[in-house]
Copies of this chain bind each other. A is one copy, B any other.
Amino acid sequence: MTTTRRVRARRGEGVLLREEILRAAEALLDESGSEDALTLRAVAMRAGVSTPSVYLHFADKDALVEAVCMRVWGEFGRMFTENLGGDPFIALGKCARAYARFALDHPVQYRVLMMRASTGPGVPPAAAECFRHMVNAVSACVETRVLEGDPEELALGLWSAVHGCVSLLIAQPSFPWPRDREALIDHIVRMAGFGTALYSRLPQQLPPSAELAEALDDFGARLVPDAGGSEI
């Protein structure tokens, strides 16, 4: 913890403090593991600066937290671009897994990002870009006909499923989760992927359960595994 007073920035370089404050905030989140530790006083002290100095670069505490979130959205966006390419359906699965892994590796950040009471009315640009990546990944699947429907709506559904799993894991760790988190994520991703693929093919009214089970069995039997080992 930096208690030493920070050297005053040169004229015109006051923005440097903004960066240092953000880094201090991220460090506090990482080290404490709790968003409660993200105090203006703690952040300022860590940056070697007086508390009200934070207000030179952030309107209030919410603005600071929002700025931290923007960075996390950026990470998410980068993650998506890194996992694209190849079979779109598989790429979608890789993206989903990467999303979940990142969230579980940075639970505090994910908390702050997704479970905080929303501040502004509009979607922040970094978040919008991240969502655009999701939609693009889904669109590619629609083009190969494995998914059908409005890509934006499909993406929201897939996102919901993965987010639901990781957010429950993070917020309700005391529940009887299976030992293997990775396997659970696999389960969810596959469930969501195939559920989405199936959804648009279903009639409005369904046959009774027995007939359903039979059709499901047939579907499974019809799938011939690929030597390539593709998997969503």
A residues adjacent to B (C-beta < 8 A): 34-36, 87-89, 111, 114-118, 120-123, 127, 131, 141, 144-146, 152-153, 156-157, 159-165, 167-168, 171-178, 184, 187-188, 190-199, 201-213, 215-232
Contact = CB atoms under 8 A, between A and B. Distances in A.
A118 B167 CA distance: 12
A196 B201 contact: no
A165 B164 CA distance: 7
B118 A187 contact: no
Contact of A152 (B145, B176, B192, B221): B176
Contacts of A217: 201
Contacts of A144: 209-210, 213
A222 B194 CA distance: 17
Nearest to A116: B171
A63 B217 CA distance: 49
Of A88, A209, A219, A227, chain B has the most CB atoms within 10 Å of the CB of: A209
A157 B199 contact: no
A171 B118 contact: yes
Contacts of A146: 209, 212-213, 216
